[in-house]
Amino acid sequence: MLDKERHLLFSLNAIDEMQDKFGGFDRLDTVLSGKDSIKNLRWLLTVLLNEGAADDEEPLTEKQVGKLIHTGNFADVKAAIFKSFSMGNNGTPEPPERDEEEEDDEEDIEKNATAGKE
């Protein structure tokens, strides 16, 4: 169990860091199952958690993230990483739920765009 709800974000920043460390994000399966798989998993999870965190949150260290992973959730952590990778590359089949404020903002943007065409 994590200390609070957290999100993994496979952003362009994360892909760039992966390329620097592993030579490419296409090696994800290899680096999470090879000789240094535990070390690589902890590093990658730290990157993804920090990318998914709010801008005002203090970044997590690898040591802090290592305390969140154990043999009981190791497989789930790997699955979550692969899921975030898939969502980051392919998007999600379901759009995220939106609150009324976001819908109002989008309506304002559409109105402004329409007014600009007239």
Q: pLDDT (tens digit, 9 = 90+) per residue, 36-73?
A: 988 999 999 999 999 999 999 999 999 999 998 888 88
Query: pTM of this prediction?
Result: 0.70
89-113 pLDDT, tens digit each: 777 534 345 566 655 555 555 554 4
Q: Tell me what pLDDT residue 94 has.
A: 41
Q: Are 6 and 52 contacting, i.e. CB atoms less than 8 angstroms apart?
A: yes
Q: Are 66 and 41 contacting, i.e. CB atoms less than 8 angstroms apart?
A: no
d(CA 68, CA 63): 9
Q: Tell me what pLDDT residue 4 has.
A: 82
Q: Are 82 and 28 contacting, i.e. CB atoms less than 8 angstroms apart?
A: yes
Q: Which two tokens stand for residue 72?
A: 């009981």
The residue ranking higher by pLDDT, 55 or 27, is 55
